[in-house]
Every structure is written in structure tokens, then in C-alpha cells.
Amino acid sequence: MANNYSVTIHIAGAGTKLKNGGESAFGHMWYELDRGDGSKPESYGFAPKEEYHGNPFAPGKVYKDDSDNYDPDHYTKRIEITEDQLKLMQDFAKDADENGFDFYKDLNSGCVDFTSGINSVEAGKDHLFIKTA
């Protein structure tokens, strides 16, 4: 049986409640990868490190708990992908520093840019572009 790999884009507005307490100061965007095999999906979001929460210009890191931490009442869009695309998106998050995501700058190196970055992950010589119907 073939797996139905997918990426889900999540967008939470400013003021969205966080399950670990507090709320999102400015809103947040992240992506979640699902292997389609019943295992727990993996989420990847970029934001300031814990000690800089709410600061739009700070050292950043990739968080893997956004899907668990954000109140589920937010926008999502699921897109089917291939296994190769899933692996490239995992690598993109794993190598965030090398991909220019080591310092959070709200206007040009924030969560939106990080999530949008999966759309230009290189696959050999070709760029990976997610296309929706």
C-alpha cells in the first residue's frame, strides 16, 4: 500500500492561544509533514529562541512542537507531496542555519519566510515547487 505523503501549512493569527501558556504575540506560520502511515506528523516552525519570545529580532531556532502547542483553531492547507519532497523538507528544517535561518528577523527571516522556503528547496538541479490544483 502506497503512503499518502503530505505537507500541511498552518497559519495562526495574533492572539492565538498556546497550550503551554500564553498566546502568540504576532501570529505564526509553520509546516507539518505527514508520512500517511499512521505515525505522528512532524511539525517545523521557525521563531525566536525561548528567552526571546515576542521579540521580532532575535536568535532563532526551529521548533518541532508547533502543531501540538498552538490552539487548533487556525487556518490549514494540506498538499499531497512525494516521499522525495518530504525528505527535502525535513532536510531544509534540519539545515536551517545553512539555509539562512539562524537569526529571526520578522520582516525577512521569520516564520513566513521559513515556511515559504520549502517551496524552493533544491532537488538536484531542479527546484521543488508545490503546485495546488
Domain positions in the chain are 6-126
Residue 123 has pLDDT above 50, yes or no: no
Q: How confident is the model at residue 132 (pLDDT cuts 50, 70, 90)?
A: very low
pLDDT digits (tens, 9 = 90+) for 24-35: 888 999 999 999
pLDDT value at residue 121? 62
- pLDDT for 131 equals 46
DSSP code per residue over 61-110? EEES-HHHHB-S-SEEEEEE--HHHHHHHHHHHHTTTTTT-SEEETTTBS
Check if the beta carbon of residue 35 is closer than 8 Å to that of residue 81: no
Q: How confident is the model at residue 106 (pLDDT cuts 50, 70, 90)?
A: low
Q: What is the pLDDT of residue 119?
A: 78
* Each residue's pLDDT tens digit, 43-100: 999 999 989 987 888 999 999 999 999 988 889 999 999 999 999 999 999 988 888 8
Q: Does the model's pTM come out above 0.75?
A: yes
pLDDT at 125: 35
Mean pLDDT (the chain, rounded): 85
